[in-house]
A = this chain, B = another copy of it.
Amino acid sequence: MKYTDATQPEIETAMQDAWNAFHAYRKLPLKQRADFMRAIAAEIENLGDELLKVTGEETNLPEARLRGERARTMFQLTSYADACERGDWLEARIDTANLQKTPPKPDIRKMLIPLGPVVVFGASNFPYAYSTAGGDTACALAAGCPVIVKAHPAHAATSEMVAGAILKAANRCNMPKGVFAHIHGAGNEVGEMLVKHPLVKAIGFTGSFLGGKQLFDWANQRKTPIPVFAEMSSINPVILLPEKLKQSVAEVAKLYASSITLGVGQFCTNPGLIIGIESEGLQNFIRSLGEEIKKISPGTMLHPGIFKNYVERRANSLSQPEVETVAVAETEPQLNQGSPTVASASAEAFLNNPVLHQEVFGPYSLVIRCKDMAEMIEVVKNLEGQLTATLMATEGDIKNNDQLTEAVKNICGRFILNGVPTGVEVCLSMQHGGPFPATTDSRFTSVGADGIKRFARPIAYQNWPDELLPDELKNGNPIGIWRTVNDQLAKEKITI
């Protein structure tokens, strides 16, 4: 099945509809927004196994994974719907008037309101959870923003089906026309038109560094710049501390062989860099990791473009003179299959060769051997911003290496101890965002209900009578949300 790129007039119509829908949609009670999101989850479920079949054909992802990802997508929609209704994200603040003050202090009440229409770019590696009805869409709808999705061309039929489910839910819930639009565009032109359209007020993106950076630059070059949350690139360093390495080499190696190759390494939190200090423990770890990697079978990658990219970047990394190949999966790869691979290089090489810092998207990891703790700290200080960083460490390791821990803190959004970075829990405490280039704004997350705040801004009402205020800010607190009233969090009614 082929889809044609949206034309300029089609985009114009979608944008005008979204802009009109914005004014109706943002006025709906939180409960109605939340019910719409829940209806989307239900309509996705109603697509049944046919959806899994279509996506499987488009992405080569196995059914179990797709089933899990579909469940996750529905959980995102329903749990962000719950958060939307709970209203903590609105950051309601009320300061009541004080006429005794000189000059008199007026009544001021603030809450977050939606930015306006949001354009979401579907991700290639998550056809459900970070695409058409994925996390960005769910956050934007919760915030009160209409959404225009640009389908990822690698799973356009999946996107079309999910868009159909969203439109069905919109219809069923009597949502304003234009609250959701779905657009195809295989080239860059459609993306550029979308980002530069004056009625677009924010962008959500998950994908490559080059893609995300381009959107960021376009957005900042607009007459009226708009916020872009692009989740782009991360090699998710794992740091092996000395005591830990003495204790449990085989276990850590096994854990990591599995994390590196999970989903053919096609996760943004894939551990692409492992850092240790030269020692018998590290040698044992490298050997064990190599043995594990050899046993793991190559898997078919998402699409030929990603496969080709993996082959090229892997070859480029392995061909650097300072890089030694540690192990490659023993089973021969079939067409479009990525071979699990582990290589190794010295810290000195890493510090001097920027190629070794690049993400090799796929089942590939590079072990960096440091001479000592000082060099390990130097390596960490020279890392780019990351979504995650992991310490494999004993409590003693942490207590004895404060400088290292502080340096790691500077570069990551999620800081894992004795675990693996793959597996991103959907919950409020999740941070999926990190210093550039992991994302374009480390102050926000794209996973968890705090992601709603990417698409909202505060407005302060000064001197408005109770009757004319939005429900969220009325004295009686009719929808029962938490609010900060005269500097104290409270759910109570205000009596004046």
A385 at the interface (CB under 8 A from B): yes
A412 at the interface (CB under 8 A from B): yes
A441 at the interface (CB under 8 A from B): yes
How many identical chains are in the complex? Answer: 2
- A contact residues, total (Cβ < 8 Å): 76
- Tell me the chain A residues, 434-473 only, with Cβ under 8 Å from chain B: 435-437, 440-443, 445, 450, 453-454, 456-465, 467-468
A116 at the interface (CB under 8 A from B): yes
- Tell me the chain A residues, 1-38 only, with Cβ under 8 Å from chain B: 23
Q: Which residues of B contact A291 (CB under 8 A)?
A: none
CA distance A445 to B110 in the complex (A): 11
- Tell me the chain A residues, 393-446 only, with Cβ under 8 Å from chain B: 395, 398-399, 406, 409-410, 412-419, 423, 425, 427-431, 433, 435-437, 440-443, 445
Q: Which residues of B contact A465 (CB under 8 A)?
A: 395, 417
A225 at the interface (CB under 8 A from B): yes
- Contact A224-B437, Cβ < 8 Å, known A410-B116, A460-B429: yes
Q: Which residues of B contact A395 (CB under 8 A)?
A: 465, 467-468
A209 at the interface (CB under 8 A from B): no
Checking B82, B456, B459 against A409 with a beta-carbon cut-off of 8 angstroms, the contacting residue is B459
A108 at the interface (CB under 8 A from B): yes
Q: Does A427 lie within 8 Å of B108, measured CB to CB?
A: yes
Q: Does A460 lie within 8 Å of B487, measured CB to CB?
A: no
A227 at the interface (CB under 8 A from B): yes
Q: Which residues of B contact A450 (CB under 8 A)?
A: 91, 93, 458
Checking B227, B418, B428, B454 against A484 with a beta-carbon cut-off of 8 angstroms, the contacting residue is B428
Q: Does A458 lie within 8 Å of B435, measured CB to CB?
A: no
Checking B105, B418, B430, B454 against A425 with a beta-carbon cut-off of 8 angstroms, the contacting residue is B105
- Contact A427-B86, Cβ < 8 Å, known A398-B468, A417-B464, A461-B415: no
CA distance A225 to B230 in the complex (A): 13
Chosen A-B contacts, 5 in total, with CB atoms closer than 8 Å, are: A88-B484, A95-B425, A415-B462, A428-B484, A431-B458
